[in-house]
Amino acid sequence: MEYIAISQLNDWKNKKIKFPAITAYDFSFAKLFSNQGIPVILIGDSLGMTIQGHTSTLSVKIKDIEYHTKAVRKGAPNTFLISDLPFMSYYDTKTALKNTAKIIRSGANMIKLEGGKWLIEIIKELSNRSILVCGHIGLTPQYFHYLGGYKIQGKKQNDANKLIDEALLLEESGIKVLVIECVPEKLAEKITKCLSIPVIGIGSGKNTDGQILVMHDLLGITEGKIPSFSKNFLSESGSIQKAIQKYIHEVKTGIYPSPQYSF
Ligand code: KIV
């Protein structure tokens, strides 16, 4: 696969070409996903659940993300890698800069932060140093206790307006990609149209620029029930390679997520 840079994601946004993304945490899956043509991989703090077996992302440490980013980069040398800054690893600007350096040195192209207004100064400082930053709004798993669980966000008009304002503010502060998780399709569509940067959705309908799924959900190997917006692509495909091909095809053509997998 050719080297994927942020300019490629911008180009897809401008040309309205939808792109798939997936989480990965190790060398072998990163290699498989990259060989199948997945252009964007997230080393997500979802590894707290999928790899470490916890019930939330809150236990994940910066050294975990460093370790998994290094492994993924070895397997996917040309893929655009986004790595999460985990819970409490960016509570102030100095800490965010220090931990971002660790993640970029481990091989990430971009770091991802969860939240809204309070991140403005941190995002500006990172952007001023030419660090690529991805925002993450809607259902933000690091706010699990505050949100009272993993629930759809932005259903009420006030909450929807707040998310639109947050998205615009984050873009103005310097983020170069936005992830929106678990919001109604219409709201995600509106935010995607308002922003000039690529917007990647998860559980947010089919009208975002890109889609992302947690690999364990996509392959149907998540412990317990997979989220209602996730689709088990492996059950209909017969091999992991074919499941990934199907995912890529369905995202690019807008088949996934159909209304069954949207709010
Ligand atoms: O940690 C993660 O895997 C994520 C995705 C759910 C977007 O943030």
Segments making up each domain of the chain, as ranges: 6-261
Maximal CA-CA distance, the chain: 48
Distance 253 CA to ligand 1 centre (A): 23
Residue pair 208/181 in contact (Cβ under 8 Å)? The answer is no
The answer to whether residues 30 and 41 touch, using CB atoms and an 8 Å cutoff, is yes
pLDDT band per the 50, 70, 90 thresholds, residue 86: very high
Residue 224, pLDDT score: 80
Closest-lying ligand 1 atom to the alpha carbon of residue 114: 8
Could you tell me the two tokens for 159? 């909450």
Q: Which atom of ligand 1 is nearest to the CA of 44?
A: 1
Tell me if 44 CB under 6 Å of ligand 1. yes
For residue 236, the model assigns a pLDDT of 87
Q: Which CATH superfamily is domain 6-261 in?
A: Phosphoenolpyruvate-binding domains (3.20.20.60)
Find tokens 């209304």 and name the residue: 259
CA of 1 to the centre of ligand 1 (A): 24
- Amino acid occupying residue 56: S
Write down the pLDDT at residue 14: 98
- pLDDT at position 149, please? 85
Across the range 76-84, mean pLDDT stands at 98
